[in-house]
Amino acid sequence: MKKSISALAIVCVISMNAQTNSPIKYPETKKGDVKDTYFGSEVNDPYRWLEDDRSKETEAWVKTQNEVTFNYLNNIPYRTQIKERLAKLWNYERISAPFKEGNYTYFYKNNGLQNQSVLYRKDKSGKEEIFLDPNTFAADGTTSLANLEFSKDGSLVAYSISEGGSDWNKIIIMDAVSKKVLEQPIVDVKFSGISWLGNDGFFYSSYDKPEGSELSAKTDQHKLYYHKLGTAQKEDKVIFGLNEKRRYVGGGVSEDQQYLIITSANSTTGNELYIKDLSNPNSKLETIVDNFNSNNYIIDNVGSKLYIVTNLNAPNQKIVTVDAKNPKPENWKDFIPQTDYVLSPSTGGGYIFANYMKDAISQVVQYDYEGRAIREVKLPGVGSAGGFGGKKTEKELYFSFSNYVTPGTIYSFDPKTGTSKEYQKPKVDFNSADYESKQVFYTSKDGTKIPMIITHKKGIKLDGKNPTILYGYGGFDVSLTPSFSITNAVWMENGGIYAVANLRGGGEYGKKWHDAGTQMKKQNVFDDFIAAGEYLIAQKYTSSDYLAIRGGSNGGLLVGAVMTQRPDLAKVALPAVGVLDMLRYHTFTAGAGWAYDYGTANDNKEMFEYLKNYSPVHNVKKGVKYPATLVTTGDHDDRVVPAHSFKFAAELQEKQAGENPVLIRIDVNAGHGAGKPISKTIEENADIQAFTLFNMGIKKI
């Protein structure tokens, strides 16, 4: 075993520093002698000590790694230029769709570069005021508004805040009219909605605070609580999850306040479904679905008639109806049957809107509550539409529309006539007419056709020299649909191509597509991504010298696996907040809930060997020339703990051959991404783009 040295000892390696062409001096990370045994196989884990996010040694390692990284980034000549352009492009007013609560109309607004959007309201006279300004929660903008819910009459509001990007939240309760805080915050809340029962109190979910670090210790028993206003949190009643051990539990009250609806799950796919009649104090909790074999949720009800969205025997989802008195699946009746396209419905204005995804593109059909198709909603173009939600009494609804070259625009929609008009069009300093998006279908290793959308300036030369970012995710039933991004706009302004591949493991084609990229089929996802890169190269969009692969979270795993399997494919690798240690991911926070997608190393010998075979941390080999790599993470990420990224970076720095740099950028006081202040987002993306272009040999932009 290599002799342990201080975490702060410095060693010269042959990666080259920006601009100076001098060797980068990485902090050499000490190695321990920790070993684990799985089914008779011994696995070394020399960097286990980096999992301790509370230790001074880890803190010192983070500081020293950041010093090396920012020293490199500071020497890239156009880094400041990219940052300034990002800030200029981001500096436009953004206003959300309005929503009515009580006697007020609320909306979010950001004047451009505010770290967090501000919640405003207007009274019936049109007088406007700030209702809640999250920028006042913390001086550096790192405390964000995570959730907000009004009582049915709009007189009370409860909102949750996230500090430093953590998933652990606090709930604050206010009188919505006077804006007076009513009682002490509800603390230690995680993965929770807020749902009011009249003005008496509300339901929320959380775990018991774990022993050890709250940012990394395992949490696996979620509970649904009821908080009665005017009482202490310690008196909150457990409604579900005390006797039933579930990793994810959620509860909400129906719009008519008649039912409490509870979902419970042990993984991110498949859930039980329960209902309780709140109009009868003596009613019991009724089971609708008693297993985890399908995804099910109640979208609405009319009296005792329930409208349930399910993928039970319908991999693309459908809506069924059933009477709440006999709600078991054998009594379900198809309401909006399954089609060839994945369904994601919403309700508002007394209608149901079936949002279908055809090859990752939106199509919306409006239905009444009798199941009659009223119309296909005319959308502004080819792209992603979302919204169409609201109370049943609303006369006007709103939806958003976007694609890779069209900034997100909000439209008002009259559900009676089907007419829509522009409500809020952002004034972005970007000329969409100069750019184009094209959807292609390429062939993966096993012959499966995979869609990919390629976006760039019009008139580019297909000469293999275009800087290209290939982005992917490929997991957890998540669909990557076209959307506009300031970050991508700046990348394309500077001559870059942005390509998004809709890999298996995602939700673009329903449950079958998702399942084709899970557990023992996870390699399909990596093969799909590799084939996407090979397609871009074969078609002369780019070449390996000008290709960067990028992804975050499960997409960070994707990048880590592909760069270790095919280090020759891309010049630059950008794994963000990635799941990179596949043998131990399930031991942190709520990671065990990801087992539907991944399986765990404890399942059986075959699953262990499969995971070890692609786990990025375990597949870095000494003497291999890996791409120039910028690993990014946040020190408060309690979704995918930063130890994944720490250990991967340490392995790469020790074993990298050649001159490509391997750096890790650790955002301090930041989490998995949600609620990140705009200032930090701009800085991070400027660094990523500058690093990418510089390592492709681009001298100026």
Per residue in 197-247, pLDDT tens? 999 999 999 998 888 777 777 888 999 999 999 999 999 999 999 999 999
Reported as type and span, the H/E element at residue 360 is none
User: β-pairing, 195-197 with 201-207?
Assistant: antiparallel
Measured distance CA(165)–CA(681) in Å, rounded: 12
Nearest to 172 by CA among 190, 193, 187: 187
Helix-helix angle 678-695:486-493, to 10 degrees: 30
* pLDDT at 1 (0 to 100): 30
Would you say the C-alpha torsion 405, 411, 413, 419 has a positive or negative sign?
negative
Nearest to 17 by CA among 61, 71, 81, 64: 71
Nearest to 529 by CA among 449, 614, 472: 472
Indicate the SS3 state at residue 139.
coil
* pLDDT at 11 (0 to 100): 33
Measured distance CA(42)–CA(299) in Å, rounded: 49
* pLDDT at 22 (0 to 100): 67
Measured distance CA(210)–CA(219) in Å, rounded: 6
Measured distance CA(576)–CA(556) in Å, rounded: 5
**CA count, 13 A, side-chain hemisphere, 246:** 27
Question: What are the residues whose beta carbons fall under 8 Å from the beta carbon of 144, sequence distance 6 or more?
Answer: 116, 134, 137, 161, 162, 165, 674, 675, 676, 677
* pLDDT at 16 (0 to 100): 55
In angstroms, what is the C-alpha Rg of the chain? 25
Measured distance CA(278)–CA(545) in Å, rounded: 63
Residues of the chain below pLDDT 70: 1-22, 637, 670-675
Measured distance CA(570)–CA(38) in Å, rounded: 33
pTM: 0.93
Cα separations in angstroms, 372 against 319, 345, 369, 627: 13, 15, 7, 55
Cα separations in angstroms, 24 against 12, 13, 489, 491, 666: 7, 6, 31, 27, 18
Give the residues across from 95 on adjacent strands: 109
* pLDDT at 297 (0 to 100): 98
Catalytic entry in 384, 553, 615, 645: 553
Cα separations in angstroms, 686 against 15, 74, 81, 84, 511: 22, 11, 9, 9, 37
Q: Is-contact 411 421, C-beta < 8 A?
A: yes
Which residue's structure tokens are 């230790």?
55
* pLDDT at 634 (0 to 100): 87
Nearest to 54 by CA among 212, 163, 219: 212
**Residue 672 is among the residues annotated as catalytic for this protein:** yes
* pLDDT at 34 (0 to 100): 96
Q: Is-contact 691 71, C-beta < 8 A?
A: no
- Residues recorded for the chain: 701
**Residue 279 is among the residues annotated as catalytic for this protein:** no
Cα separations in angstroms, 29 against 57, 583, 617, 618: 11, 21, 14, 16
Q: Is-contact 411 426, C-beta < 8 A?
A: no
Cα separations in angstroms, 99 against 161, 397, 551, 621: 20, 9, 34, 54
Work out the burial of residue 286: count CB atoms within 10 Å of its CB; fewer than 13 is exposed, 13-18 middle, 19 or more buried.
middle
